[in-house]
Amino acid sequence: MRRLLTALALLAAAVPSHAADVDGKSVFQKNCAACHMPNGKGIPGAFPALAGNTFVVGPAQDPATVLLKGRGGMPDFSQSLTDADIAAVLTYVRSSWGNKGGALTEPQVAALRNEVQAAHYTGGQLSNKH
């Protein structure tokens, strides 16, 4: 039994995170840029700027929760973005346009998704609620 657990642990460690394979800038362009603008400056009075936004570069779980649950006019992306997508796009946003926030990982987003009881990614065409 110990050998099996050791083998499973080694296998799990060898499996790469999908977040490393996801391009955060591409996820941003596809899902966020229409409202928050390609330069992250948003549209005053309608969509907040992400560039220089203290909320964006603050505790990583805060903007991640907004992506998973939505807030105000912001839709939730829980069913339309994978944990890897969310980690990649937030890592991109938190490190672009002069922002100096840290990276997020796919396991961090997965744990937060469970913590906030957000819906899981469905991958279906009808999953995109926005």
**59-83 pLDDT per residue, tens:** 999 999 999 999 998 999 999 999 9
Q: Does a structural domain hold residue 60?
A: yes
Q: What is the pLDDT of residue 3?
A: 54
Mean pLDDT of the chain, nearest integer: 85
Q: Does a structural domain hold residue 78?
A: yes
CATH code for position 66: 1.10.760.10
Give residue 124's pLDDT band: very low, low, confident or very high (50, 70, 90).
low
Q: Does a structural domain hold residue 65?
A: yes
Q: Which residue has the tokens 């220089």?
A: 52
Q: Does a structural domain hold residue 111?
A: yes
Range of the domain at 11: 2-116
Residues in the chain: 130
Give residue 13's pLDDT band: very low, low, confident or very high (50, 70, 90).
very low
Q: Does a structural domain hold residue 130?
A: no
Q: Dihedral angle at the C-alpha atoms of 101, 102, 106, 108, nearest 10 degrees?
A: -100
Q: 69, 78 in Cβ contact below 8 A?
A: yes
Q: Does a structural domain hold residue 79?
A: yes
Please give the model's pTM, rounded to 2 decimal places.
0.79
Q: What is the pLDDT of residue 22?
A: 86
Q: What is the pLDDT of residue 123?
A: 79
Q: How many domains does the chain have?
A: 1
